[in-house]
Chains A and B, each alone.
Chain A
Amino acid sequence: MTFTTFMQHLVNSISLGSLYALIAVGYTMVYGILRLINFAHGEVFMFGSYMAFFAMTTFGMPWYIAFIIAIILTCIFGMLIEKAAYKPLRDAPRISIMISAIAASFLISNLGIVFFGGIPVTFPRPDIFDIRIVIGGVSIISVSLFIPVITAVALVILLYIVNHTKTGTAMRAVSKDYEAARLMGIDVNRIITFTFAIGSSLAAVGGIMWALRFPALIPFMGIMPGLKCFIAAVIGGIGNIKGAVLGGLILGFGEIMIVAFLPELSGYRDAFAFIFLIVILLFKPAGLLGKNIAEKV
């Protein structure tokens, strides 16, 4: 393998890894607060890219307006899912909440088939994202450069919100101790809704960039990335935003490099994430950046 092809793979893996990271953050935030795998997160991601698609094609909006509208709609959509499928089960056993999440995920992707159709549609790529840049033999499409930058900006904003605002402090409090936070007068339901809103907006940003990178949209497109990004969140240490970013980058890097270095294993590309997950769960169950918490009786 020459240096140029390696650089080519490196660029690809960073852009894929940033996409994973962006979606993984949504999982990790919801898990941190509700202790719930939001199975429907992949569907939120799908919804975001479809909204951008319809805004651009059916309504003929310019891409920047279309993207903003898509993010707003997806944000509302995520809050609605929480209200409908998770809120009524706040005090139910965890298995019930998880089944509800699985049902919601299936419901949304199949509603997607009903309303958006089962045939893949092609996402139009605005010119600015479609410039081919050649640096020292490495050919990059401009969207691959935009993705890490946009991810970084989104994460900086997110970390600011979480660490330096009042709502962010409340979010951290709820995730640390749900009951105590409620007793201290924090409106837990409002914080949960807010968490879903942020997670869904990030999923929308991820979905739009995913569609720019891989322009074929189908209603089931959210399932695989959804699972992988949850795995990324677990690898990094669930509940930990920086961990989710690290996990996403590792996953993107691993997937691309396995195919690059061991082409005969390319059929196993999708298995990589799951194998990695199991190895991590066995040797470092709290994830790479997570803290081990002893179980209380």
Chain B
Amino acid sequence: MKRNNKLNIIAILAFIATLFILNVTLDPYRLRIFNLAGIYVILGLGLNLVNGFTGLFSLGHAGFMAIGAYTGALLTMSPETKEMTFFLEPITPILANIQLPFPIALVAAGLVAGAIGFLIGAPVLRLKDDYLAIATLGFSEIIRIVLTNMQTITNGALGLKGIPGNANIWWIWGVSLAVVVFMVLLIKSSYGKVFKAIREDEIAAEAMGVNIFKHKMMSFVIGCALAGVGGALLGSLIGAINPLLFRFLFTFNVLLIVVLGGMGSITGTVLSAVVVTVMIEYLRVLDIEMNLGFIRIPGVPGLRMVVFSLILLIVILFYQRGIMGSNEITWEKLFDFKNRIAKKITRRKSS
């Protein structure tokens, strides 16, 4: 255990050093993709906690992200920007002059999304399986419709522009590192064991004296809060948000990450968040026309999403475990792997 703690600290320090190097060496475009991957790590872990670890099939992630994004944006925008953005109808006086530091806004985004998650969870978490899925999907749509119609608070369909770009590599990857550590601790704790028990067999868990509803609610609220924080970081990274951004498509992307990484695997989600984000960006070439100088390949709009839905379909049909299944990459496994390779090499040398 002591060795692992040391290794953990070394790994975190090495990761921070990598961030430092990447921050200097990457061009703005690549840096942005890398940051986006960090946000997807947070979102993916939030959804994986609910879907993968607790076995509640929620499809409402995009709605909670929207709440977080709007909270974060409204709390960090300067009064002048707000006045300029809300040109159709002025913003409510309560929000007009508030401007808070970014970290406080992030926490607030998480808290507001979590609180709304709590309010929604109270009725919805009584439902099971597909009913839960459709009800959370419904709530996410309701949130989007409400955001579109609350002109004086959210600026309606026009959305918010000029959100201060506070979210740099340190904020984004710092938060996602914290979330990873939090998730590892949570899953190892007795709460994590209860979540898994609920996933495996709800009735058996209840018979063992577990308060099912309380733990479901806990997992759901944490998932929503993480979605809120991710949403706030996303808003700050891209600088402009509107209700259309948070359609079901966004939940689909996060779901793809969770399924591809393995339902119930933290390291799997981190890996697949990076892989999927990079793919989302680089497969953009499928949608736009490519000019190779001597030949023109016409882009096919929509082909990129075809590829992603095919990946999800193939993974779920033929390789349901995803990259990691419900396993994790641990130091023990890495050492074991190293030893096995070393043995193979020595065997090959001796023969």
A contact set with B: CB distance below 8 Å? 35-37, 85, 88-89, 92, 94-96, 98-100, 102-104, 106-107, 110-114, 118, 219, 223, 227, 230-231, 234, 267-268, 270-271, 273-275, 277-278, 281-282, 285, 297
Which residues of B lie under 8 Å from residue A113 when comparing CB positions? 301-302, 305
Return the CB mask of B303-315 against A: 1 if under 8 Å, else 0.
Answer: 1011011101100
- Contact status B317-A100, CB under 8 Å: yes
Report if A100-B137 is in contact (Cβ < 8 Å); known contacts: A271-B142, A285-B131: no
A107 and B310 within 8 A (CB): yes
A-B contact pairs, 8 of them (CB 8 A): A98-B133, A107-B309, A227-B137, A231-B134, A268-B146, A274-B142, A281-B135, A282-B123
Interface residue B236 (Cβ < 8 Å from any Cβ of A): no
CA gap between A102 and B55 in the complex, in Å = 17
Q: Which residues of A contact B133 (CB under 8 A)?
A: 37, 98
Complex CA–CA separation, A230 to B137 (angstroms): 12
Q: How far is the CB of B158 from chain A (nearest CB, A)?
A: 14
In-complex Cβ contact of B138 among A98, A104, A231 (8 A): A231
Give complex CA distance A268, B263 in Å.
35
A-B interface contact total, Cβ < 8 Å: 117
Residue of A nearest to B305 (CB): A110
A81 to chain B, nearest CB (A): 11
State the Cβ distance, A104 to closest chain B Cβ, in Å: 6
Can you name the residue of chain A whose Cβ is closest to the Cβ of B248? A223
Tell me if B149 and A267 are in contact (CB < 8 A). yes
Determine whether the beta carbon of B301 is less than 8 Å from that of A114.
yes
Which residues of B129-185 have CB atoms within 8 Å of chain A's CB atoms? 129-131, 133-135, 137-139, 141-142, 145-146, 148-149
Which residues of chain A come closer than 8 Å to B222, judged between CB atoms?
A: none
- Where the two chains meet, the residues of B that have a C-beta atom closer than 8 Å to any C-beta of A are 51, 55, 57, 59, 123-124, 126-127, 129-131, 133-135, 137-139, 141-142, 145-146, 148-149, 203, 248, 252, 255, 259, 263, 300-303, 305-306, 308-310, 312-313, 316-318, 320
Collect the chain A residues with CB atoms within 8 Å of residue B308's CB.
Answer: 106
- Say how far A147's CB is from chain B's closest CB, in angstroms: 26
On chain B, the residues within 8 Å of A275 by CB distance are: 138, 142
Which residue of the partner chain A has the closest CB to B51?
A95
> Please, how many angstroms separate the alpha-carbon atoms of A278 and B309 in the complex?
29
Instruction: Report the Cα distance A100→B130, complex, angstroms.
Output: 13
Asked if A268 meets B306 with Cβ closer than 8 Å, knowing A37-B134, A95-B51, A278-B139, the reply is: no
Q: A99-B259, A106-B309, A231-B134 are in contact. Are A94 and B129 (CB under 8 A)?
A: yes
Question: Bound state CA distance, A202 and B94, in angstroms?
Answer: 52
Contacts beyond the supplied A85-B317, A114-B303: 14 A-B pairs with Cβ under 8 Å: A37-B134, A89-B316, A95-B55, A96-B316, A98-B129, A99-B312, A100-B317, A102-B255, A106-B305, A106-B309, A107-B313, A112-B302, A274-B141, A278-B124
The B interface, classified by DSSP as helix, strand, loop or mixed, is helix
Rounded to whole angstroms, the CA-CA distance of A87 and B51 in the bound complex is: 23
A32–chain B nearest beta-carbon distance, Å? 13
Contact B301 A95 (CB under 8 A): no
Contact of B123 among A85, A98, A219, A278 (CB under 8 A): A278
Across the two chains, which residue of chain B brings its CB closest to A276? Answer: B138
B313 touches A268 (CB 8 A): no
Asked if A103 contacts B316 (CB within 8 A), the reply is: yes
Main secondary structure on chain A at its contact with chain B?
A: helix
User: Which of B131, B148, B317 is packed against the most chain A CB atoms within 10 Å?
Assistant: B317
A114 touches B134 (CB 8 A): no
**A268, B310: Cβ atoms under 8 Å?**
no
A residues less than 8 Å from B145 (CB atoms): 267-268, 270-271
- Give the complex CA separation of A278 and B316 in angstroms: 29
Which chain A residues border B312 with CB–CB below 8 Å? 99, 102-103, 106
Partner of B134, one of A35, A89, A234: A234
Q: Hey, which chain A residues are within 8 Å of B303, CB to CB?
A: 110, 114
Residues A268 and B305 in contact, CB atoms below 8 Å apart: no
Q: How far is the CA of A110 from the CA of B316 in the complex (A)?
A: 18
List of B residues within 8 angstroms of A85 by Cβ: 313, 317
B252 contacts A106, CB within 8 Å?
A: yes
| Smallest CB separation, B131 vs chain A (Å) | 6
Q: Please name all residues of chain B whose beta carbon is closer than 8 Å to the beta carbon of A37 when the two chains form the complex.
A: 130, 133-134
Are A114 and B313 within 8 A (Cβ)? no
CB distance from A110 to the nearest CB of B (A): 4
Which residues does chain A contribute within 8 Å of B309, judged by CB atoms?
Answer: 103-104, 106-107, 110
CB neighbours of B263 from chain A (8 A): 95
Tell which of B123, B133, B203, B308 has the most Cβ of chain A within 10 Å. B133
B135 A278 Cβ-Cβ under 8 A:
yes
A96, B322: Cα distance in complex, Å: 12
* CB pair A270 B141 closer than 8 Å: yes
Are A278 and B138 closer than 8 Å at their CB atoms?
yes
B317–A88 CB distance below 8 A: yes
| Bound: A270/B138 CA distance, A | 10
Complex contact B57–A114 (CB within 8 A): no
In angstroms, Cα B140 to Cα A1, docked, is 34
Shortest Cβ gap from B312 to chain A (Å): 4
Q: Once the chains are docked, how many angstroms separate the CA of A107 from the CA of B303?
A: 10
Q: A114-B303, A275-B142, A278-B123 are in contact. Are A100 and B131 (CB under 8 A)?
A: no
- Taken together as a complex, chains A and B put the C-alpha atoms of A89 and B259 apart, in Å, by 15
**Taking CB as reference atom, which chain B residue is nearest A267?**
B149
Q: Which 10 A-B pairs have the closest CB atoms?
A: A113-B302, A274-B138, A107-B309, A106-B309, A103-B312, A110-B305, A103-B313, A267-B149, A271-B145, A114-B302
Task: State how many angstroms separate the Cβ of B37 from the closest Cβ of chain A.
Answer: 21
User: In whole angstroms, how far apart are the Cα atoms of A277 and B140 in the complex?
Assistant: 13
Hey, which chain A residues are within 8 Å of B148, CB to CB? 267
Tell me whether B127 and A285 are in contact (CB under 8 A). Answer: yes
Once A107-B306, A282-B123 are accepted as A-B contacts, the answer to whether A277 and B134 lie under 8 Å apart by CB is: yes
